[in-house]
Amino acid sequence: MISEKIAKSLNRQVQLEAESSQIYLAMASWAEVEGYNGTAAFLYKHSDEERIHMLKLIKFINERGGHGVIPALAQPSLKYKGIKPLFEEVLSHEIHVSGEINKLVDICLKEKDYTTHNFLQWYVGEQIEEEALARRIIDKLKLIGDDKGGHYLFDRDVTTIESALKSEKGFRSE
């Protein structure tokens, strides 16, 4: 059984994961309209992954005697100045998410809720991977600069950056 305090904190994370899914969905739609089809595919997939992060939390809260609350969502940004500012926003959002996960871990330790602490370790690992991926993408975009051909190749290959990073760093493959 989780305490009310832990349930409330986990539900705040449900909201953040739902917002992440919504933000990446808006980014994907913008990229698709702008003709960045590879980037759109990458972002649609990430939006789906954030929804799975949210679902895992809801199911955990419910299993542990709480109530996973489905949140109202704010309208995300619909336009971006370009691919690089878009991915810079992905990185700063993921850094924010990591900070929130760390706060949750800290609350669990203070409350001596070791079950939830253990559950959250999956999210700790996931954040390391997501931040590394966003940084890798931004590094590539910095190399490309304003080169149009480079942007074309980036968009064609962006979905392969994740698998390359995973095999290189030994990250999980799911």
Which residues contact ligand FEO by CB under 6 A?
Answer: 17, 20, 50, 53, 94, 97, 130
Query: Cβ 108 to ligand FEO, closest distance in Å?
Result: 17
Rounded (5°) CA angle 72-124-155: 75
SS3 assignment, position 73: coil
How many whole angstroms separate alpha carbon 17 and alpha carbon 55?
9
Residue closer to ligand FEO (CB basis): 50 or 113: 50
Query: Cβ 13 to ligand FEO, closest distance in Å?
Result: 9
Residue closer to ligand FEO (CB basis): 94 or 155: 94
Residue closer to ligand FEO (CB basis): 39 or 151: 39
Query: Cβ 51 to ligand FEO, closest distance in Å?
Result: 9
DSSP 42-93: HHHHHHHHHHHHHHHHHHHHHHTTS-PPPPP-PPPP---S-HHHHHHHHHHH
> Which residue of this chain has its Cβ atom nearest to ligand FEO in the complex?
53
How many whole angstroms separate alpha carbon 125 and alpha carbon 9?
19
Query: Cβ 103 to ligand FEO, closest distance in Å?
Result: 14
Residue closer to ligand FEO (CB basis): 32 or 131: 131
Work out the number of other CB atoms within 10 angstroms of the CB of residue 65: 10
Query: Cβ 120 to ligand FEO, closest distance in Å?
Result: 12
Residue closer to ligand FEO (CB basis): 117 or 151: 117
User: What tokens appear for 1 in the block?
Assistant: 């059984």
